[in-house]
A and B are shown apart, each in its own frame.
Chain A
Amino acid sequence: MSEAQLHTHVIRAGSVKENDEQLAGNTLLTDNLWRGAGLALVIILWQIGVNVGWINPFLMGSPVGIAGEAWRLIQSGQLLNDTIATVYATVVGFLAGSILGSICGLLLWFSRSVARIIDPFMVALNGLPKIALAPMIIIWFGSGMFSKIMLAFVATFVVALLSAYQGTHQIDRNLINLMRSLGASRREVFTKVVAPATLPWIISAFRLNIGFALIAEIGGEFISSDRGLGRMIFVAGNLFNLNVVWVGVIMLMIVAIVLYVIVSQVEKRLLPWEKGHK
């Protein structure tokens, strides 16, 4: 216990954090008030502009119109169906691509020569805008949900693979030497050092991949599909029904935020040791 008192660092760090948290709570509240006020102002000015005739609702849509369409789409169940379809394809493709990609990237640690050989292909694939593959993938897998899942998969797989693989390269050589000196096998080095040390890289790839999966999925729906928010936006846009386009865009934003929050929560759960840094 005398050690604890000697090293006041721990105690001080704790109290500073408490103050920070209190401060953060207060700023968060005022920040949110300002955000809400700003948003309300824009919406009110927009509606006034439409009513007075400064803004053409045919080209821009109007808040009242958007609300009306949203209500109609919610009541008919179409919004829910389209959202479910989009979220389902995005999440399945995202999870499959990110998890498999991360596993492959981690496993590349075992073989430097395999990694070296496939490296240029991975870099080329990574640079390719994955949406360019959409026409092909739709031809192969049809215009249903499965082609959208595949698109999200392709868009996320390479990012996750490269990120995990790069993560394995950043590991402190000394940690691996320490394991060796303790008599650890290669498999133990992998499970006890390589995998946990790479986890922060994997999580950050997951975070990026939410965006990539959504882009690929919506892009796929634009090209050919029978349901989903992307299709809803695309069809409404062609009909110059800007209010419905807005409903779709807002819904997509909500989906993106929810997915992002989920990944952040998972991150907190999986990386408890990173808490002290924040």
Chain B
Amino acid sequence: MNASMAASVTQAAPRGAQGVQRHSVITLDGIKKTFSSPGADAIEVIEDISLDIKQEEFVSIVGPSGCGKSTMFNIIASLLEPSDGSITLRGSDPKCGARVGYMLQRDLLFPWRTIIDNVCLGLEIQGVRKARRYEMARDQLTRYGLADFADQYPNTLSGGMRQRVALIRTLITDPDLILLDEPFSALDYQTRLVLEEEIVSILKEHHKTVVLITHDIGEAIAMSDRVAVMTQRPTSVKKIYDVGLSRELGSCLKARSDARYQGFFDSIWDDLDIQIAGGES
């Protein structure tokens, strides 16, 4: 591999945070997860994950398939308790889970709610008055060109539009951390590139801290400040790459065509490959 393209493997602060003292939004410390069921051997899915994510950082978690990504997702989203270790979310225990907003591959829009009512879901649960939440939702929908669809049901929208609505629904409750779990993998390639770009800029605009869980190396490099590469199950953090291309260049598309992109890609691919081969032997 070309030396100049080789990725720097450090644990330094993100580029966007240079010179500014930013506090951690989420700290995973020695997370372990073992699934045990009576009569069967316990399965160790996560061996040890320690990760510290600073405010406004965009961190991707990339791993070989079957490395326990969805377990990781559920733990970060506080839907699952780790067997050992601790998660600290902005200094407080995230058990109530209200501060993590997430977005999945499937948009999870409620088919029986109109677009605007879908967007309002979180506000409704938080007890925001109806007039106020409609006003907020309309503002956001207008901002992202979806105002005309406010009173439609989700099944009349295309996949990309539905994902946009899902993002607005996530953002409107103003969570501290946004967790993305392969949010684009059900979309066609063009829509995906457009949405990648759009979501990064929306999230930056809102000063959000983001964790993206994906198997798509390219997506991770194009969008992230840092990429954490996971090992095969039982999972631990193998390496952390300081990428920051999209932040430096201001665009995911530019990041994809940057000279360093391929270097990162090859190194991460190698990291995953070694593990897969190791797992099979």
Contact = CB atoms under 8 A, between A and B. Distances in A.
Interface of A: 1-4, 7, 9-10, 13, 172, 174-175, 177-184, 188, 192-193, 196-197, 199, 271-273, 275-277
Contact of A273 (B100, B112, B144): B112
Nearest to B112: A196
Residue among A178, A179, A196 with the highest chain B CB neighbour number at 10 A: A178
A276 B146 CA distance: 19
B121 A182 contact: yes
A10 B157 contact: yes
B101 interface: yes
B40 to A, nearest CB: 22
Contacts, number: 77
Nearest to A8: B158
A183 B125 contact: yes
Interface of B: 74, 77-79, 96-98, 100-102, 104, 106, 108, 110-113, 121-122, 124-126, 144-146, 148-149, 153-158, 160-161, 164, 173
Contacts of A172: 108
Contacts of A175: 108, 110
Contacts of A4: 145, 148-149
A179 B125 contact: yes
B280 to A, nearest CB: 31
A181 B110 contact: no
Report, nearest first, the 6 A-B pairs whose CB atoms are least far apart.
Answer: A183-B98, A3-B145, A273-B153, A7-B158, A196-B112, A276-B155
Contacts of B122: 182
Contacts of B98: 181-183
Nearest to A189: B125
A10 B111 CA distance: 16
B145 A2 contact: yes
Contact of B110 (A182, A193, A271, A277): A193
Nearest to A199: B112
A7 B157 contact: yes
A183 to B, nearest CB: 4
Contacts of B111: 273
A188 B146 CA distance: 27
Given A1-B148, A197-B112, A184 B97 contact: no
Contacts of B101: 181
A184 B121 CA distance: 10
Given A7-B160, A10-B157, A192-B124, 19 more contacts: A3-B161, A4-B148, A4-B149, A7-B158, A10-B158, A13-B156, A175-B108, A179-B125, A181-B78, A181-B101, A182-B98, A182-B121, A182-B122, A182-B125, A192-B125, A272-B153, A273-B153, A275-B153, A276-B155
A179 B121 CA distance: 9
B136 to A, nearest CB: 15
Nearest to A181: B97
B97 A174 contact: no
A271 B155 CA distance: 13
A14 B262 CA distance: 44
A48 B201 CA distance: 81
B114 to A, nearest CB: 8
Contacts of A184: 125
Contact of B77 (A179, A181, A188, A275): A181
Contact of A183 (B96, B148, B154): B96
B268 to A, nearest CB: 28
A173 to B, nearest CB: 10
Contact of B126 (A180, A183, A197): A183
Contacts of B160: 7
B173 A174 contact: no
Residue among A9, A174, A179, A183 with the highest chain B CB neighbour number at 10 A: A183
Contacts of B78: 181
Nearest to B126: A183
B156 A10 contact: yes
A276 B112 contact: no
A181 B158 contact: no
Nearest to B123: A182
Contacts of B104: 174
A178 B148 contact: no
B160 to A, nearest CB: 7
Residue among B112, B144, B149 with the highest chain A CB neighbour number at 10 A: B112
